[in-house]
Structure 1
Amino acid sequence: MSDPYYHEPASELSTQVRDEHRALATLIEELEAVDWYHQRIDVATDAD
């Protein structure tokens, strides 16, 4: 079974590479959240 989040079979990747991948995925999620907050702020009409 392939994992859609890896380009190579996860079972063949080292622990370090899998850990780095998880860290990068987390960073991407956090950056997306910042973008969503900026969008929300941009359309907000309440100054508070």
Structure 2
Amino acid sequence: MNLRSLLFTVIASAILSYVGAGSIGHDKVQPFPQPEPATVSEKS
């Protein structure tokens, strides 16, 4: 039972890491835009 769950976990993590392995170069990273303050309390 434990061997089966361990094998399933290893295979599932290998598949997920292969699917999500896309990467970008360090020079392509863009910062998140900051929203403009809308209320008086946000402006202060």
Which of the five TM-score ranges fits, normalised by the shorter chain? Answer: 0.3 to 0.5
Larger Rg: 2
TM-score norm. by structure 2 comes to: 0.48
More helix per residue: 1
